[in-house]
Structure 1
Amino acid sequence: MQFNYHIPTRILFGPGKLAELSTEKLPGKKALIVITGGKSMKANGYLERVVELLKKNDVQSVVFDKIMPNPILRHVMEGAELARKEQCDFVIGLGGGSSIDSAKSIAVMAKNEGDYWDYIGGGTGKGKPVTGGVLPIVAITTTAGTGTEADPWTVITHEERNEKIGFGIPETFPVLSIVDPELMLTVPPKLTAYQGFDAFFHAAEGVIAKIATPVSDIYALKSIELINTYLPTAVANGQDIDARTNVALANTLSGFVESTSSCTSEHSLEHALSAYYPELPHGAGLIILSEAYFSFFAEKVPDRLVMMAKAMGKSTDGVEESKQPYLFVEALVELQEKCGVRNLKLSDYGIKKEDIPKFAKNAFETMGFLFTLDRYKLSMDDVITIFTKAYK
Structure 2
Amino acid sequence: MALNPYFMPTDGGDTAFTVEAPKIKFGYGALEEVGGDAKALGMTRVALFADPKTADLPGMETLTASLEAAGMHVTVYQDLEVEPTDRSFKAAADFAAAGNFDGYVSFGGGSTMDTAKAANLYASYPDDFLAYVNAPIGAAKPVPGPLAPHIACPTTFGTASECTGIAIFDLLEMEAKTGIANARLRPALGVLDPSVLESLPPPVIAANGFDVFSHAFESLTARPYTQRPKADDPQKRPLSQGANPYSDLACQEAIRLVGDHLVRAVNDPRKEDYEALMFAGMLAGIGFGNAGCHVPHAMSYAVAGLVEDYVPEGWATNEPMVPHGISVIVNSPAVFRYTGKACPERHLMGAKAMGADVKGLDPRKAGDALADRIIEMMKATGMPNGLSGVGYGEADVPRLVSKAAPQRRLLDNAPRPVHEAELTDLFTGALRYW
Aligned to 2:9: none
Of residues 76-85 and 177-186 in structure 1, the stretch that sits farther from structure 2 once superposed is 76-85
Distance of aligned partners of 1:87 and 1:169 in 2 relative to their CA distance in 1, 3 Å threshold: same
Could you tell me the TM-score, scaled by structure 2's length? 0.84
Amino acid at match of 1:62: T
What is the 5 A alignment of 1:251-270?
251-270=281-300
Aligned to 1:31: 46
- In the TM superposition, what is the alpha-carbon distance from 1:10 to its structure 2 partner? 2.1
What is the 5 A alignment of 1:1-392?
3-24=16-37, 25-36=40-51, 38-39=52-53, 41-131=54-144, 133-210=146-223, 211-238=242-269, 240-277=270-307, 279-341=321-383, 343-365=384-406, 367-392=407-432
Amino acid at match of 2:142: P
Distance of aligned partners of 1:3 and 1:334 in 2 relative to their CA distance in 1, 3 Å threshold: farther
CA distance in 1, matches of 2:209, 2:356: 20
Amino acid at match of 1:34: F
- In the TM superposition, what is the alpha-carbon distance from 1:259 to its structure 2 partner? 2.1
**Which ranges in structure 1 are unaligned for 5 or more consecutive residues?**
none
Amino acid at match of 1:219: A
CA distance in 2, matches of 1:130, 1:176: 19
**Which ranges in structure 2 are unaligned for 5 or more consecutive residues?**
4-14, 224-241, 308-319
Amino acid at match of 1:104: K
SS of alignment partner, residue 317 of structure 1: coil
Preserved contact between residue 110 and residue 135 of structure 1 (Cα < 8 Å): no
Preserved contact between residue 284 and residue 344 of structure 1 (Cα < 8 Å): no
- In the TM superposition, what is the alpha-carbon distance from 1:176 to its structure 2 partner? 0.8
CA distance in 2, matches of 1:48, 1:321: 51
| Percent of paired sites with the same residue | 26
Instruction: List per-residue Cα deviations over 1:79-133 (Å, max 9, x = no partner).
Output: 1111121211122121111111111111111112233322112343233333264
- In the TM superposition, what is the alpha-carbon distance from 1:57 to its structure 2 partner? 1.2
CA distance in 2, matches of 1:348, 1:192: 18
Amino acid at match of 2:103: F
Of residues 114-123 and 368-377 in structure 1, the stretch that sits farther from structure 2 once superposed is 114-123
Could you tell me the TM-score, scaled by structure 1's length? 0.93
SS of alignment partner, residue 58 of structure 1: coil
RMSD: 1.9
- In the TM superposition, what is the alpha-carbon distance from 1:191 to its structure 2 partner? 0.6
CA distance in 1, matches of 2:160, 2:279: 9
Amino acid at match of 1:290: S
Runs of 4+ in structure 1 over 4 Å off: none
SS of alignment partner, residue 78 of structure 2: strand
- In the TM superposition, what is the alpha-carbon distance from 1:209 to its structure 2 partner? 0.1
